[in-house]
Every structure is written in structure tokens, then in C-alpha cells.
């Protein structure tokens, strides 16, 4: 880092100091509740599956979510509870800032689902903040839901529950006023079915917001985009391959906003718009309703 001019070295005092501008860049978040220094760890995580992904390029298929859990995060890492007071609420706050009417309705009490919720920290934050509303989180792997369940129990949150469910099987049998996804559609095996089920599951006047990777569906439009290299790398080494592991569509994280909007309209949403927030360099916000 010193020879790369990232760190300033004083040979007399034998000290090393990170340049202030670089220190600020590493400490600043990217709009996803995580500083850039934390996201740098992803490079090491993804390197652990590089050989597996390369083999899939040769022979087909993909690297499953289960394999990522074992190889990348460790077999028990995805079942560890978290401290809800230390997670960054930025993503949840951004969603609520874009949907003030939904925020007001949450105060009164509505039905909410988070599809592909993983450990469910966003859902638990919402459940604690809006005790009059009712929340349910769905995820493909039951063990991924355990942290959310344990945190909810420890905090006495009786208005939230977590259920094992493939996003592709969400079929409208449950009706919700508000549905969220946080980076959980593009890497589904069947994102088209997931979006169709979400559209069917909204009550009249309900709202869906899908927080997803920002970018164009056309490669040429992303050549000068901030963090495009990181986004495509993450897409190839995780999002795309995890979908292909289940014989999925393999769209990857860089499926792009144009394709996302097209698939949402085909799923039955009558109104679809995409919003960007200047502070978020990773995600955009797809907001959709059904007439």
C-alpha cells in the first residue's frame, strides 16, 4: 500500500498513515448500510468460490446458496443472531423516505411481506418501529431465517414471523398492503415467477418496492458507471451462478433497470418507476403498484 501511494510512510519515525481522502472513502457508506471498508471484504469471500465458478463455466450449472454458506461464510455463519441496535437502518430509512404514504399507513397497521428476507434484519427493524403492523419474511433456506427468528424472540416482537418459502411459489394466497425485496429478485431461479406472485399478493392500493442493483441492461451504458467493475464481478461470482445452480435464468445482479421494469410490467404491475438516491452508489429503487 505504501509503494502504491495509498499509505504515507515516514522512515524517520517509522510510521505509516493512510491518506485522509482514502480514509474518508473507506469509512463512507455506499448507501447500503455498510462502509466501503466492509465491502472490500467481499473480494476475499468471492475468491473462495472462484475455482468453483470457473468449473461451472466449463461444465455448466452453478454454485448453490448452500455451497456459498459452507465455503464463503462458514457453515454456522448464516445462523448467528445479530444486534438490531448496531445494524445500519439506512436502507430501511431510504425506503420509507421514498414512500411517505406507506410510512403513515405502517403507523396505523398494515400487512407487510419481505420476499427473500434472509436473516430479516430489515423486517425486524420495521416490526420494532411499527408495532401496529404485521410482518412476514420469506426465504428459500429455513436456516437463513433463524437469526431473524432468534432476534425477534429476544426482543419480544410478536408482530413478525418468518416462513420458509421459495419466492417463485408466492402465489397471491396471502394478501399484503406493502411488499419489499432487498437485492433478492435478480438472483432468483425464476425472478419472473417471483414478481408475478408479488403482484398477485398485493391488495388494491398496495405498494411493492424492490431495492436492487442499479445499472443499465446494456453493457455499453455501464462502461463509465461508478463501481461497475465491482457490480459485474459480484454478479458473475455470486448472483448469476447461484441462480444457475437451480436451473434458473441466471440474470445476475447486472440484469439492469430496463429489464427489471419490463419484467415487472409483464408480471402484472400497472405502474412501475425507478428512483435513484444520490448517496446510494449500489442500489436503485423500483416502485410498483397494481391497479
Write down the residue that cell numbers 405502517 correspond to: 106
> What are the distances in angstroms from CA 76 to CA 11, 42, 205, 231, 254?
44, 18, 41, 27, 29
Collect contacts of 69-75 with beta carbons under 8 A, ≥24 apart.
Answer: 69/141, 72/45, 72/46, 72/48, 73/45
Q: Tell me the C-alpha distance between 263 and 252, whole Å.
A: 14
| pLDDT value for 76 | 53
For residues 69-87, average pLDDT: 74
Cell numbers for 75, please give them: 457453515
| 3 state SS of 278 | coil
Q: Is the pLDDT of residue 125 over 80?
A: yes
* φ and ψ at residue 166, rounded to 5 degrees: -70, 130
Angle formed by the axes of helices 146-155 and 121-129, to 10°?
20
Q: How confident is the model at residue 74 (pLDDT cuts 50, 70, 90)?
A: low
pLDDT digits (tens, 9 = 90+) for 209-221: 999 999 999 999 9
User: 139 has which bridge partners?
Assistant: 164
Domain boundaries 42-289, corresponding CATH code = 3.40.50.150
For residues 100-129, average pLDDT: 97
For residues 89-101, average pLDDT: 94
Q: Taking Cα atoms as reference points, which of 117, 160, 109 lies closest to residue 140? A: 117
CA pseudo-torsion sign 204, 283, 162, 170: positive
Q: Taking Cα atoms as reference points, which of 274, 269, 271, 282 lies closest to residue 257? A: 274
B/e letters for 160-178, b = 16+ CB within 10 Å, e = fewer, are bbbeebbbbebeeebebbb
- The residue extents of the domains of the chain are 1-28, 42-289
pTM above 0.75, yes or no: yes
For residues 194-205, average pLDDT: 96
| pLDDT value for 88 | 81
Cell numbers for 241, please give them: 451462478
| pLDDT value for 33 | 64
Lowest-confidence region among 19-33, 142-156, 245-259, 265-279? 19-33
Alpha helix stretches (DSSP H) within 156-255: 191-200, 228-234, 240-244
Q: Taking Cα atoms as reference points, which of 209, 129, 222 lies closest to residue 177? A: 209
| pLDDT value for 194 | 98
The 8-class DSSP code of residue 35 comes to B
Amino acid at each position: 500500500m505504501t509503494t502504491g501511494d495509498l499509505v504515507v510512510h515516514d522512515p524517520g519515525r517509522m510510521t505509516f498513515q493512510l491518506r485522509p481522502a482514502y480514509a474518508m472513502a473507506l469509512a463512507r457508506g455506499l448507501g447500503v448500510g455498510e462502509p466501503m471498508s466492509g465491502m472490500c471484504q467481499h473480494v476475499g469471500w468471492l475468491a473462495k468460490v472462484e475455482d468453483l465458478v470457473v468449473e461451472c463455466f466449463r461444465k455448466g450449472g452453478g454454485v448453490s446458496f448452500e455451497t456459498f454458506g459452507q465455503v464463503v461464510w462458514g457453515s454456522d455463519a448464516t445462523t448467528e443472531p445479530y444486534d438490531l441496535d448496531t445494524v445500519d437502518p439506512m436502507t430501511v430509512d431510504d425506503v420509507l423516505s421514498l414512500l411517505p404514504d406507506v410510512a403513515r399507513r405502517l403507523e396505523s397497521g398494515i400487512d407487510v411481506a419481505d420476499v427473500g428476507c434472509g436473516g430479516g434484519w430489515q423486517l425486524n427493524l420495521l416490526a420494532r418501529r411499527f408495532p401496529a403492523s404485521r410482518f412476514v419474511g420469506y426465504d428459500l433456506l429455513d436456516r437463513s431465517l433463524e437469526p431473524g427468528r432468534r432476534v425477534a424472540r429476544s426482543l419480544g416482537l410478536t408482530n413478525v414471523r418468518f416462513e420458509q418459502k421459495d419466492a417463485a411459489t408466492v402465489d397471491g394466497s396471502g394478501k399484503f398492503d406493502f411488499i419489499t425485496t432487498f437485492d433478492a429478485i435478480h438472483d432468483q431461479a425464476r425472478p419472473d415467477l417471483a414478481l408475478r406472485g408479488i403482484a398477485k399478493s398485493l391488495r388494491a392500493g398496495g405498494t411493492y418496492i424492490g431495492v436492487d442493483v442499479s445499472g443499465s441492461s446494456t453493457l455499453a451504458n455501464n462502461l463509465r458507471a461508478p463501481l461497475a467493475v465491482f457490480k459485474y464481478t459480484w454478479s458473475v461470482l455470486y448472483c448469476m451462478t447461484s441462480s444457475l445452480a437451480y436451473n434458473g435464468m441466471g440474470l445476475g445482479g447486472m440484469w439492469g433497470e430496463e429489464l427489471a421494469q419490463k419484467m415487472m410490467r409483464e408480471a402484472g404491475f400497472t405502474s412501475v418507476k425507478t428512483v435513484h438516491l444520490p448517496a446510494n452508489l449500489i442500489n436503485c429503487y423500483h416502485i410498483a403498484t397494481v391497479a
